[in-house]
Amino acid sequence: MTVDADPTDVPFVALVPPPREAMFLSATINGTPDETSRLFLRRGDRFWARSTDLDAWGIAWTDTSAETIDGDRFVPLDDLPGLEARIDAQNQAIDLRFAARAFRPTRLEVGSEPIRPTDGTFAAFLNYDVAITRDRETQAAAYVEAGVSDDWGLASTTLSVTPFQGRTRAVRLDSYILRDDPESMTRLMVGDTVTAPSTWAGQVRYGGVRFGSQFSLQPDFISFPTPVIAGSAAVPSQVDILVNSALLYRGELNRGPFSFDNLPLVSGSGEVELHVRDMLGVDHALRTNYYVSRALLRPGLADWSIEAGALRHAYGLQSFTYGAGFLAGSYRRGITRWLSLGTRSYLSSDTQLAGGDVSLVLAPFGELSLASAITTGRQGTGWRYRAEARRIARDWSLAVSLERSSPDFEEPGTLRYQAPVTRELQMTAGLDLGTAGSLGLSYTDLVRADGTQARVASANYNVALGPLGYASLFALATDDSRRSDVIAGLGITIPLGRRASGYAQADNRGVRAEARLAPPTDRGLGYRLAIERGPIDREQGELLLRDESGDYVVQASRTDGRLAGRFLANGGLVLTGGQLRLRRRVGEAIALVSVPGQANVRIYSENRLVARTDSDGTAVIPGLIPYVNNHLSISAEDLPMNVTLDRTAMTVVPRERGAAAARFDTRQARPATIIILMPDGTPLMPGTRVTSGDSESAYFSGYDSEVFVPDLTGLDRLSAQTPSGACSVRPVIATTDTLPVLGPYRCTLSRETRHAL
């Protein structure tokens, strides 16, 4: 069929692009070869790569430019910033060089991961401090603390026993239940506790409930803002971070932009150095100054507390005396990296209080905090404001604060025994002189509502004397409405060994000298000898005995010719693991270490010998730190030869006053020496390989055909590879000896070997 065309028509030409060509290429990314061949699509000079491959290289790509082809997402490479591509068709390779900004940013935090408490065990404890004094008469006093703890928390109560008006009086102090949640960093207390601290008022004791944030449950958590250190690397590199010329962090960097946040920096000003070293050894350095303050909170982080209850009266004098009920709360929040705001309120039938505070960093000059509060109560309406400026530098520091209050300002829970302070001025300064020592100055000026004034000024200079110790020059001047006084002198501390030291002091009032030997951390003796001449003439001697049950001190003194003596004892009773033990006082946390059935095994805490297991293979280890990794280990040398351990060290994280469970499981092996002979009765050649049944374990024969087998458990057959071929024996294991010698046994050739021969 023929179709005539109109000669006036314009011919139509369809421009069809050539199809994409699929190819597998070995890629090199910024000079680093990729170990896997990757699929690319090519059309002319344009290339597409799979999105999954870009993810593997760490390249940031946008979904808007991606296309779906045969179920895979492909991204055109010319849409990526700063890309240079070179293809080697002959070797089926492609060289891709991306700009650093093309990679996904990496955010790194220097520090450890959040710590979670390890499994604990039930524990009940009773701590005691006893003092028996003999002067003109004999008197005794004691402090007792009892508590129970487990993974649910802690319940505790304290009691003081003191002489009073010729008789002994026992007074309950604090009773409470505590429950911590380390993941949310919150703490709940029910019972006797104290209010949250504030800038304009002190803490008071009360009985009731307190619930709020507790950052100490994650000791490595950085609550204050720190500078962000950022940079970029085109190739994988090594990074070093130095703070004030000290190495803080060393690690590896991937390609692309990176930033370090939450660096564990000390308060005040300093310098951070960032060194990025690439594969060729080229070092790129960045230096920046910073100023951080622990008074601030990270942006978005809140520190809060809710309190309700009744104020405690006559604490230490009466057991159950409470006053008016109240409700209080505080809330502080980080607004920016340089600003934090806070507020606190208190409401009771006697007193109402409301206030706020502002904390900010004025980099690079220092930090400033402002606070004010207003109260209404029995004294009327009062006000208080406080301003403080501070700068902490590497070699000097300075702080000035001024607080003013009206006579009617009433702090909740306080009793007025004298005129209130209406003005308080404080100034402190410090100077680091390097090897020449350090200098500190302070000044305080108080004015009360009745017009009386008190001023205190002090200065001290400390300098190291090398191996001889260090010296301290000091001066203290006081001036109030009644009298003025000045004390100035020199003190010298001299080390006398690992645990021994001496101290001598002379001032315008007299002289004093002391020598002491600290007891070992586990068990042993210590002493202290002191003599003083001046307004009071005194000689003192002290002997301290420390063992696993506690500390015991005997003191003797003569003051202006009058003799006196004292006996001190402190320790505790611990019920855990089904046993009641006499141990040192339970401080912050303990661990119940178990090495089942193994007595007298040495136990170490942070590489320090702290205890040995008892006859049941258990021991209580005091002195652990809660919510921190505590490293415990045992000495494998103290175990019998036929006992093996899965591990000799572990890390435990106990709760507050809790008992962490640390179990070192043991397994009793049955080692033996087996004598295996060749089929003709001749000894095996030394070094012959011997295997146990179908196990992959292999042993080797020694001289006299002896083969040492570390464990006979489950052993049925031994096979040996001899010059004549494979042969086997079935040893008879019918002995209870610790290290038996079995055999000799003649090795029987296998059926295949006999047939071949």
| Helix/strand/coil (H/E/C) assignment for every residue in 76-134 | EHHHCCCCEEEEECCCCEEEEECCHHHECCEEEECCCCCCCCCCEECEEEEEEEEEEEE
* Spans of the chain, pLDDT less than 50: 1-15
Cβ atoms 438, 404 nearer than 8 A = no
Domain ranges for the chain, please list them.
21-104, 116-142+511-668, 229-292, 672-756
pLDDT at 95: 86
What is the separation, in whole angstroms, between the first and last Cα of the chain?
A: 90
Nearest to 273 by CA among 264, 262, 284: 284
CATH superfamily of 672-756: PapC, C-terminal domain (2.60.40.2070)
Nearest to 730 by CA among 743, 713, 718, 714: 718
Would you say the CATH fold of 116-142+511-668 matches that of 21-104?
A: no
Task: Say which residue the tokens 């415990």 belong to.
Answer: 632
CATH superfamily of 21-104: PapC, N-terminal domain (3.10.20.410)
Express each pLDDT in 569-608 by its tens digit.
Answer: 999 999 988 888 888 888 889 999 999 888 899 999 988 8
Q: How far is CA 695 from CA 132, 530, 715, 719, in A?
A: 68, 70, 10, 11
CATH 1.10.730.10 fits 229-292, yes or no: no
Cβ atoms 266, 251 nearer than 8 A = no
Residues 6 or more apart from 213 whose CB is under 8 A from it?
185, 186, 187, 302, 303, 304, 305
Cα–Cα dist 47/31, whole Å? 19
Give bridge partners of residue 442 from the DSSP assignment: 428, 458
The backbone torsions φ and ψ at residue 753, rounded to the nearest 5 degrees and listed phi first, read -70, -45
Nearest to 341 by CA among 305, 365, 370, 307: 370
The predicted model scores a pTM of 0.77
Strand, helix or coil at 542? strand
Cβ atoms 274, 237 nearer than 8 A = no
CATH superfamily of 116-142+511-668: Outer membrane usher protein FimD, plug domain (2.60.40.2610)
